[in-house]
A and B are shown apart, each in its own frame.
Chain A
Amino acid sequence: RKEVEQDPGPFNVPEGATVAFNCTYSNSASQSFFWYRQDCRKEPKLLMSVYSSGNEDGRFTAQLNRASQYISLLIRDSKLSDSATYLCVVNEVWGGNKLVFGAGTILRVKS
């Protein structure tokens, strides 16, 4: 079983749509959670951290369910520029504070 699992997509949505991505992680001891965004042939960039109480940053909302070991990202009012791969990332405290990446979910926003 992969440590961090995501639906690879692609999700093809029209501009203005709301889209949600899900992610599950296997290590219940994981402490920190993030969503990164990666554009084609570029490095990942931090989109937002995910907090237990849920958090929002503009059109983006992240949720964490520790009991279910489940993380979500909601994007409202999708823009063409949101097209990218969204990486669910978990920090593993054991073994040296390493980030473990999901394989990513591809989003394509079309006009």
Chain B
Amino acid sequence: GAVVSQHPSRVICKSGTSVKIECRSLDFQATTMFWYRQFPKQSLMLMATSNEGSKATYEQGVEKDKFLINHASLTLSTLTVTSAHPEDSSFYICSARNPKGAGYEQYFGPGTRLTVT
């Protein structure tokens, strides 16, 4: 069964509004979660690393004030896309690393397809 859930799976919003995406680890406590974005026919690009109880670490070129990340518990991280624009339309995927795992494998949520009109 799924070890990471994501909600919603699909969202359509109007330009200028904000959208919150939730990512939950179901089988383990994840001190670290990751947020990715994937545009059509492209690979996953890491946006930020979400650390429980501390500020997220953003990748170069990702606006932290636009993509707000909160990791308030060991099983939940949220990504809020603020003032969304059509160019923010993408597939957003979260992942969690099992700290008890043998390697650095990450388990991915099912993704959220965001369409901004």
> What residues of A have a CB within 8 angstroms of the CB of B42 in the complex?
103
Contact B104 A42, beta carbon cutoff 8 Å: no
Whole-angstrom CA separation of A99 from B105 in the bound complex: 9
- Inter-chain contact A99/B103, CB cutoff 8 Å: no
Chain B positions 15-61 with a Cβ under 8 Å from a chain A Cβ? 32, 34, 42-46, 49, 57
Chain A residues within an 8 Å CB radius of B106: 46, 99
User: Interface segment, A13-21, A61-69, A70-78, A90-98?
Assistant: A90-98
When distances are taken between beta carbons in the complex, the residues of chain A under 8 Å from B108 are: 43-45
Q: In A38-87, which residues have CB < 8 Å from any B CB?
A: 41-46, 49, 87
Q: Which residues of A contact B32 (CB under 8 A)?
A: 97
Encode B85-96 as 1/0 by CB contact (under 8 A) with A. 000000101010
> Residues of A with Cβ closer than 8 Å to B?
31-32, 34, 41-46, 49, 87, 91, 96-104
A-B residue pairs in contact (CB < 8 Å), sample of 20: A32-B104, A34-B103, A43-B110, A43-B111, A44-B93, A46-B105, A46-B106, A87-B44, A91-B103, A96-B49, A96-B57, A97-B97, A98-B34, A99-B34, A99-B46, A99-B95, A99-B104, A99-B106, A101-B43, A101-B45
Chain B positions near chain A (C-beta within 8 angstroms): 32, 34, 42-46, 49, 57, 91, 93, 95, 97, 103-111, 113
